[in-house]
Amino acid sequence: MTNNSFYLFFPADFSNGELCKNAEAAKAEDFYFSGLDATRETDNRVGSTITLLSTNQIPGLDGLSLARTDYAPNGGLNPPHIHPHATEILTLLRGILHVGFITSSPENRLITKTLHPGDVFVFPIGLIHYQLNTANNSALAINSFSSKNPGVITIANAIFGSHPPHNREILAKAFQLNTDTINFLQQRFKGNQ
C-alpha cells in the first residue's frame, strides 16, 4: 500500500499527565463531554461560577479549552483576574454583562463594554479583566481560551488570601491602606481561592 511507512498522524500533545494514549486506543469518549447545558449554582461570595473543560474532562483536547460561566442576577461578578496563558473569547448567551480589561503599565487604560445576548468580546492574554451581570435575571456565557491550560490569577485572592498571608507592611505600602484594613481584608479572603 502507498504511504505505509508514514507515521500515524495524531495530535502531538495527546499525552496529558496521567493519561497517555496512543492513537490506536483512542475512542470517541476521549474527545467528548456531556452536560455543559446544566445551570450551575452561583450562591457564593462573588455570585459567579466557572466550569472549565480541560484535559481532565476531555483527554483528547489540545491547543485550546472551553468554559461556561454562570452569573447570579443583579450583580453576579467574575472578579478581576488574569489568564497568564490564554486570550479569551466570551460569547454571551443570556443576561447583560458589563465587561472590562485594563492595558498594562504604565498606561493602565480601562476599556469597557456592555454586552447583550449574541455579543462576543475578546480579553487579550495576560491582562486583568472582569465581568458583572447587571440584568435582573441570571447570565450565562461560553468562554473559549487559546490554551488547553489558560491558568487564572484572581487578583484579590492572590493578594489578600495567600497562604501564608503576606506581610502586612508590604501590602499597606503597596495598596496605600493602613495595616488594620489589610488585617481586615486578610480575614475576609482567608480560605478563599
CB 147 within 8 A of CB 89: no
| Greatest alpha-carbon span in the chain | 77
Taking CB under 8 A as the criterion, which residues in 76-135 touch a copy of itself? 77-82, 84-87, 89, 91, 93, 98, 100-113, 115-128, 130, 132
CB 128 within 8 A of CB 102: yes
Query: How far is CA 43 from each of CA 38, 81, 127, 129, rounded to the nearest angstrom?
Result: 15, 20, 27, 22
Query: How far is CA 8 from each of CA 12, 19, 22, 23, rounded to the nearest angstrom?
Result: 11, 19, 10, 8
CB of 23 to a copy of itself, least distance (A): 6
Cell match 443583579: residue?
A: 74
Taking CB under 8 A as the criterion, which residues in 30-69 touch a copy of itself? 31-38, 44-46, 48-54, 56, 58, 60-66
CB of 114 to a copy of itself, least distance (A): 9
Question: Residues within the annotated binding site for Mn(2+)?
Answer: 81, 83, 88, 129
CB of 21 to a copy of itself, least distance (A): 12
Encoded one letter per residue, x for contact with a copy of itself by CB under 8 A and - for no contact, window 3-22 reads xxxxxxxxxx-x--------
Between 19 and 151, name the residue whose CB sits nearer to a copy of itself.
151
